[in-house]
Amino acid sequence: MSLAAGIIQEGGLVAFPTETVYGIGASAYNNQAVKQIYIVKNRSTSDPIIVHIARIEQLGEVASEVPSIAFELAENFWPGPLTLVLKRNKNVAKYVSAGLDTVAVRMSRHHVPLQIINLSKTPIAAPSANLFTRPSSTIAQHVIDDLYGKIDLIIDGGICEIGLESTVLDLTNKIPTILRPGGTPIEMLREKIPDITYSDKFIDAMHGEGMPSPGMLSKHYSPKTQFVIFSGGSPIALDNLRKIIVYLLANHKQIGLLLPDEELSFFADLPIQIQNLGPKEDMSQIAQNLFVGIRSLDKANLNVIIMRSVDKKGLGVAIWDRLSRASGQKVFNLDNEVDVADYRWIID
């Protein structure tokens, strides 16, 4: 770990595991090093980066104002998958905040970043260790696939415990607002702070599901392969999905399918590549397997990857968000009878 700390102190870049996803870190005080993160990720410099700390006392080093609610949340949810957006301390490298007067801070519960931060004696700015728009990395091989040769060190810590990024909570407005759902579900946060809400943008996205035509909206966390999500809890939904898959197969398409264990038998006889994600009710397991499953199918030269959506509760909200964005908002409900020809665009 001292090797990693030395690299950070000298302005280098280190990829490391966290409990959420792998991060790619630089000293939060070194503007050039932080700039280099944007370059290797091919990330827009208008998208700010999270600063990782190892002790609650370090909050004062990176934030200029720390309201009592931040301490309350930190005491209850740190170390863990919760990021707090606060007013920025000017010590923090400019590139971290992408021109904003705020800074996002989190304390991971993974021993590797905690040790590197302590040994290097510097907070570490670290976004997820993936190329811009690609799914986050949840095993070291993903980091190698995206960033090998561009950074100084990759620390292999096995598969990330949670598999989804942290929840980003903005505390700079009157009402604490979730900007990105993540590893700490809103239900848990509301037990401590009842008035926490989602950003309007996210609420709009949640209601935007349904029409069988592809959206042209922003993509993030995406595989290279076309990615389409189908929701619906009724038996009809599974029948409809089977019909759509059979239609795609009849048109000579190579298909990958991600689904919960319980639905496996329904598709097992079809000549498609299946990745099961875990039991339907076990959102933790589905979350952990999600990016591994997507990235593995993405390497299989398929025409389309299809996934069954999840219930939007608990961790399911963050899973749904990643699916919606990875697919470019191609999330369609199959609870009513469908005409497979409405899905012809998947072939074209």
**Does residue number 14 form part of the binding site for ligand TXA (CB under 6 A)?**
no
Binding mask 86-125 for ligand TXA (x = CB under 6 A): -----------x--x-xxx-x-------------------
Q: How far is the CB of 117 from ligand TXA (least distance, A)?
A: 12
Q: Closest residue (Cβ) to Mg ion?
A: 128
20 binds, among Mg ion, ligand TXA, none (CB under 5 to 8 A by kind): ligand TXA
Which structure tokens are listed for 249? 């197969």
Contact region for ligand TXA (CB under 6 A) — 162-170, 196-204, 210-218, 256-264?
162-170
Pairing of strands 255-259, 14-16: unpaired
Q: Which is nearer to ligand TXA, 170 or 298 (CB)?
A: 170
263 binds, among Mg ion, ligand TXA, none (CB under 5 to 8 A by kind): none
Residue linked to tokens 């875990």: 278
Which structure tokens are listed for 162? 């949670």
**Does residue number 166 form part of the binding site for Mg ion (CB under 5 A)?**
no
Largest Cα–Cα separation, the chain:
61
**Does residue number 20 form part of the binding site for Mg ion (CB under 5 A)?**
no
Binding mask 72-111 for Mg ion (x = CB under 5 A): ----------------------------------------
Q: Which of 85, 107, 315, 317 binds ligand TXA (CB under 6 A)?
A: 85
Contacts 24+ apart (CB under 8 A), 310-317: 310/280, 310/283, 310/286, 311/233, 312/206, 313/185, 313/187, 314/185, 314/187, 314/283, 315/164, 315/183, 315/185, 315/283, 315/284, 315/286, 315/287, 316/283, 317/181, 317/185, 317/186
In angstroms, rounded to a whole number, what is the distance separating the alpha carbons of residues 5 and 49? Answer: 19
In angstroms, rounded to a whole number, what is the distance separating the alpha carbons of residues 92 and 61? Answer: 8
Q: Which is nearer to Mg ion, 163 or 232 (CB)?
A: 163
Name residues whose C-beta falls within 8 Å of residue 306's C-beta, 6 or more positions apart in sequence. Answer: 227, 228, 229, 230, 241, 245, 255, 256, 257, 258
Q: Which is nearer to Mg ion, 27 or 128 (CB)?
A: 128
Which residues, 39 to 58, sit near ligand TXA by CB under 6 A? 47-50
**Does residue number 289 form part of the binding site for Mg ion (CB under 5 A)?**
no
Q: Which is nearer to ligand TXA, 23 or 157 (CB)?
A: 23
In angstroms, rounded to a whole number, what is the distance separating the alpha carbons of residues 115 and 66? Answer: 24
Q: Which of 89, 128, 231, 240 binds Mg ion (CB under 5 A)?
A: 128
Q: Taking phi first (over 0 means left), then psi (-120 to 50 degrees means alpha), and beta for anything else, what does residue 55 get?
A: beta
* Residues binding ligand TXA (CB under 6 A): 18, 20-21, 23, 47-50, 81, 83, 85, 97, 100, 102-104, 106, 126-128, 165-166, 168, 179-180
